[in-house]
Amino acid sequence: MKPKKSWKHSFHKQMATKAVGFFQHALRLKGRWQNADKDDPWNRGLDDNPKLRRESFDIVRTVADLIQLYTASGSFRGLSAASKKSYQLYLDSILTKFGASPLKMFDERGARTLIRQWRDNELASRPRTADATIAILRLILNFAVDEEYLYRNPAAGLGCIHTITRRDIIWTDGQIAAFLSKAPRHLSRVLLLAIWTGQRQADLINLKWEAYDGRYIMLQPRKSYRGKPARRVKVLVAEELRKILKEINLEQIARANDPNPKKRRPQPDYILTNSRGIPWVLEGFKGAWRKAVAHAGLSGVTFHDLRGTFITLSHRAGASIMEIAEATGHDEKECERIIRKHYLAAGGEPVVMKLEAAKRFAPKNWLRANAEKFDAKERHTAPRHPRMSTRFEQISAARQARLDG
């Protein structure tokens, strides 16, 4: 007896020719490929044919399901521990707001307005947090689009409500001197290392001796700029910084050989350590740094502002934007924006002084009380280089000769 064919014994697949085919099979029968008819209900698309959907579509029904799927994906697992921790804070906020909502609602009209109103009405009291939360929501919705759970991302292109940046904040000479005079030695070394290298806090705390060859510090920044691959940086160690590193190394060796067993510490692989000679834990360093800044009577500056300080001081010393970007790992455009905030926005004094020294910006008789007596060419034409003036006169004379001839 011939077995009855059933749709549950068919596999559908898109062939190389872009046509949809199905493989029909039944018990004790050899299967064969057939082209699907255009009127076949299997070819009408996902919305009309739920049977064509993948089994995982039935699993990811709500935003909570999507978040669970994202945190189990390679995109999330590949993040650093610090990034995972910060991402989780924003994911929890999204889960509280939309966790039970159906995922398909983001394909409906009005979803973008819903997201924007949530940001403006409920999150606007903390603008930076609001922008970061929307950025993570945009990220997981992009993940949903890539995995074909959604057709579009309604959070794409939503602007930021936080417009204040810290590019215009750097450590002044007085603030640096105040910190160095009040802070303990092991924290003062951190500040000097940051000023001389322009690296991030986490990169300096995790900097090992193997990255220092006696002349250069070479490291791979852990964080990249706006998703771009982080560039390996090579920083020339200045003489002052070389003395500090030598001092740290000698102290670590002396502590490792301390005759008192209670004070003895194994020589660490890391350059920076706390007061007990133990490598820093990032959270512990942040707490110690905040206390030292407060003890020095400083406010309004952060550790991260030391990067802008390094960039600004380097440019004032004559380094080009490309050279600074190579040393810090910054994007060149970001370096230029920081420099414009401090070096160029302070005024045009260097430009004016150079023009005044050159004495070639304007002729002495540019402003005249009786300017009406002079023709327009003499009155308004900008000064020319002597060679250009000579060439202009030659061209004018040749033209007049042709007219006279």
What are the E-state strand segments in 289-388?
Answer: none
∠ at Cα 40 (35, 44), nearest 5°?
Answer: 110
Q: Which residue has the higher pLDDT, 364 or 77?
A: 77
Residue 216's φ and ψ, nearest 5 degrees, are -125, 155
Domain residues of the chain, as ranges?
7-53, 61-146, 173-344, 371-404
**CA-based nearest residue to 197, from 241, 231, 249, 228:** 241
* Mean pLDDT taken over the chain: 75
pLDDT band at 345 (very low <50, low <70, confident <90, very high): very low
Mean of the pLDDT values across residues 109-114?
A: 92
- Segment (H or E) for 136: helix 127-146
Give, for 14, the enclosing helix (H) or strand (E).
Answer: strand 10-14
**Is residue 74 classed exposed, middle or buried when 0-12, 13-18 and 19+ CB atoms within 10 A define those classes?**
exposed
Q: For residue 165, give the nearest of 344, 308, 286 by alpha carbon.
A: 308
Q: Structure pTM?
A: 0.57
| pLDDT greater than 50 at residue 10 | no
Per-residue confidence band for 61, with pLDDT thresholds at 50, 70 and 90: confident
pLDDT of residue 154: 94
Give pLDDT, residue 96: 92
Contact between 339 and 311 under an 8 Å Cβ cutoff? The reply is yes
State how far the Cα of 271 lies from the Cα of 206, in Å rounded to an integer.
Answer: 8
Q: Looking at 90-99, 123-132, 221-230, which range is the least confident one?
A: 221-230
The average pLDDT across 183-211 equals 90
pLDDT band at 33 (very low <50, low <70, confident <90, very high): very low
Q: Which CATH architecture has domain 173-344?
A: Orthogonal Bundle (1.10)
- The dihedral sign for the CA sequence 288, 303, 171, 231: positive
- Spatial strand order in the sheet of 20-24: 10-14, 20-24, 32-35
The band of 248, judged by pLDDT with boundaries at 50, 70 and 90, is very high
The mean-pLDDT minimum among 4-13, 89-98, 195-204, 255-264 falls in: 4-13
- For the segment 32-51, the average pLDDT, to the nearest whole number, is 44
Percent of the chain with pLDDT over 70: 64
- Taking a C-beta distance cutoff of 8 angstroms, is the pair 4, 27 a contact? no
What is the C-alpha separation between 364 and 223, in angstroms, rounded?
55
- pLDDT for 174 beyond 80: yes
Question: At residue 374, does pLDDT exceed 80?
Answer: no
pLDDT of residue 291: 94
Q: For residues 277 and 252, give the distance between their C-alpha atoms in angstroms, rounded to a whole number.
A: 7
| pLDDT > 90? residue 6 | no
Nearest to 143 by CA among 68, 79, 80: 68
Higher pLDDT, 163 or 199: 199
Average pLDDT over residues 213-219: 87
Q: Where are the alpha helices (DSSP H) in 11-80?
A: 55-59, 63-71, 74-77
DSSP alpha helices (H): ranges in 317-346?
321-328, 332-339
Lowest mean pLDDT among 36-40, 136-140, 253-257, 331-335: 36-40
Phi (first) and psi of residue 236, to 5 degrees: -70, 130
Q: Sorting pLDDT into bands at 50, 70 and 90, what band is 112?
A: very high
